[in-house]
Amino acid sequence: MNGPDTVLHSLIAGAPLPGEAEQIRATDPALGRPTGPHFTALTPDQGSLAVEAAQQAFGPYRRVSPAARAGFLRGIAEGLEGHAEQIVAAAKTETGLPQTRLTGELARTANQLRLFSEVVTEGTHHGVRIEHALPQRTPLPRPDIRQRRVPVGPVLVFGASNFPLAFSVAGGDTASALAAGAPVVFKAHNAHPLTSYLVGLVITEAAALHHLPAGVFSLVYGRGADIGQALIRHPGIRAVGFTGSRSGGTALMAAAAARPCPIPVFAEMSSVNPIILLNSALTEDPAGLAQGFVTSLTGSSGQLCTAPGLLFVPSGEAGDAFLQEVAERLGGVAGTTMLTPGICASRVEREQALAQVEGVRPVGRGQDGLTENAPAPAVYATDADTYLCTPQLSEEIFGSVCLVVRWDRPDQLRQVVDELEGQLTASLHFAENGGEDVALASDLVGRLEEVVGRILVGGWPTGVDVGDAIVHGGPFPATSDGRSTSVGATAIERWLRPVAYQDVPDWLQPVEVRDGNPLGIRARRVDGRTGR
């Protein structure tokens, strides 16, 4: 399956479909040369077959029992673990990411699927609310009204370059959509086609094993703009999940809004994830603080959506000493292979542009890596006034490059925070016995709530825990819809919409809203009180 003479195809409703467009092949970014099998690309007309299969599957799939749907999700997790060695090997070759990172990512992907199997089983995602009739109420009687959430319909998901497993074929968007009862049409990322194919086979086999309609999942290969735009315009697609660049996400948003029937796009796009150091943070352990920052900046070659691209450091001797610690630690770090030659070229070009901005100076630099596409990590600095009057400095550079902004006064720091674009994360570092910093931190948290999805104190933004409470989202341009999250249990809510049932007879009510709670849903809101 991995040979250069092998030709593989899209998986449409469980069956291979040879494409009629130009073929696709991955590039090994560490060696800079083609690798693996060829994949035939579908034309837009062929891509519509995947949507039609999803439409046919939607009715039967949304009606399967919670136990069956949860079993399907667990089956995918078990399949990933059973084929872990083959999947990780393919991903390592296609992305240049280290095996330890990919092994952990596969485990995270399996755990996400198991999390959503638990969400399906407990049932609170249905959002059940019941108000029994009050026929004696005056001046008007109240009817019997019951509410639940239902799946929106087939979902189109685009694979992410930087997470070939956790944000790809069986990643969070797919897992949450399948958990909601929505079939998935998945557009494979052309940078890791074999990895996508191996995971797609796992999902296809799990669907067959659990006797689900084949159209519940399809894996589509094609040239991004052509097939992606065609799929998003298809009337059978009812929502979109995307992780990638701001330009890619906004293009999908525009296409979805231009449809005769517009649909929501949940796109995670751009974030510099600011880290704010207050004066007291620099007095406790500046060396440890510097090491934590460098580790967060350089992990996975800075290709994490939560990588720190902006660091606010107080002016003065303590800040100078901290940056000297950063420079010393950064100097011993070699660059690691980036995901694709194109991503690397963009990163190098953006860094060069940053270095040429008047008022920006270098702080420290690591070493180029030994492989192809492995530029040295770098940190630059400027002052707050230059930052505020130079919009270019707030833009994301995808990779291990960070801009330090030196601030002089709390009011200046507040002004900078108020000017931030929407972000996935923001981090605060200060000492709890730091006197005036405690009041400043309290004020900053209130300001940061308006522009970020996750606020950290004393930590680093890289690393996202997958659970009930996590938020991986934020106001535009971090995401297209700051009311949502793409990670964690509540990610399922993106693919659901509320429906109310008024004076519907008991026998005709959906089982989720019937009196007696036949499904044993963990929490329902009944007559203004939460219970079962």
Distance, CA of 441 to CA of 448 (rounded, Å):
10
Distance, CA of 134 to CA of 312 (rounded, Å):
58
Domains 7-28+44-269+483-494 and 275-457 share a fold: no
Contact 106, 86 (CB under 8 A): no
If we measure between CA atoms, which residue out of 227, 211, 398 comes closest to residue 307? Answer: 398
Could you say which of 94, 105, 305, 344 is catalytic?
Answer: 305
Percent of the chain residues topping a pLDDT of 70: 100
Residues 6+ apart with CB under 8 A from 302: 377, 398, 399, 400, 401
- The arithmetic mean of pLDDT across residues 170-191, rounded, is 98
pLDDT tens track for 305-328: 999 999 999 999 999 999 999 999
pLDDT value for 442: 95
Phi, psi of 431 (to 5 degrees): -90, 135
pLDDT value for 224: 75
Q: What is the mean pLDDT of the chain?
A: 96
CATH topology of domain 7-28+44-269+483-494: Aldehyde Dehydrogenase; Chain A, domain 1 (3.40.605)
pLDDT value for 226: 85
Pairing of β 239-243 and β 265-268: parallel
Told to judge if 268 belongs to the known catalytic residues of this protein, a careful annotator would answer yes
Domain ranges of the chain: 7-28+44-269+483-494, 275-457
Is 75 exposed, middle or buried (CB count within 10 Å of its CB: 0-12, 13-18, 19+)?
A: buried
Pairing of β 15-17 and β 10-12: antiparallel
pLDDT class for 463, splitting at 50, 70, 90?
A: confident
Lowest-pLDDT range of 220-224, 401-405, 408-412: 220-224
pLDDT value for 223: 87
Helix count (H) and strand count (E) of the chain? 15, 22
pLDDT tens track for 3-43: 778 999 999 999 999 999 889 999 999 999 999 999 999 99
Give the residues across from 518 on adjacent strands: none
Residues 6+ apart with CB under 8 A from 59: none
Q: Is the pLDDT of residue 408 over 70?
A: yes
Told to judge if 305 belongs to the known catalytic residues of this protein, a careful annotator would answer yes
Domain at 275-457: CATH code: 3.40.309.10
Q: Is the pLDDT of residue 434 over 70?
A: no
pLDDT value for 358: 96
Distance, CA of 154 to CA of 354 (rounded, Å):
42
Residues in the chain: 532
- The arithmetic mean of pLDDT across residues 401-420, rounded, is 96
- The arithmetic mean of pLDDT across residues 440-451, rounded, is 96
pLDDT value for 304: 95
pLDDT tens track for 81-133: 999 999 999 999 999 999 999 999 999 999 999 999 999 999 999 999 999 99
Q: Is the pLDDT of residue 178 over 80?
A: yes
Handedness of CA 172, 177, 181, 185 (dihedral sign): negative
Distance, CA of 291 to CA of 143 (rounded, Å):
62
pLDDT value for 532: 66
pTM of the model: 0.95
Could you say which of 81, 94, 118, 268 is catalytic?
Answer: 268
Distance, CA of 242 to CA of 250 (rounded, Å):
10
pLDDT class for 2, splitting at 50, 70, 90?
A: confident
pLDDT value for 189: 96
pLDDT value for 435: 83
pLDDT tens track for 271-311: 999 999 999 999 888 999 999 999 999 999 999 999 999 99
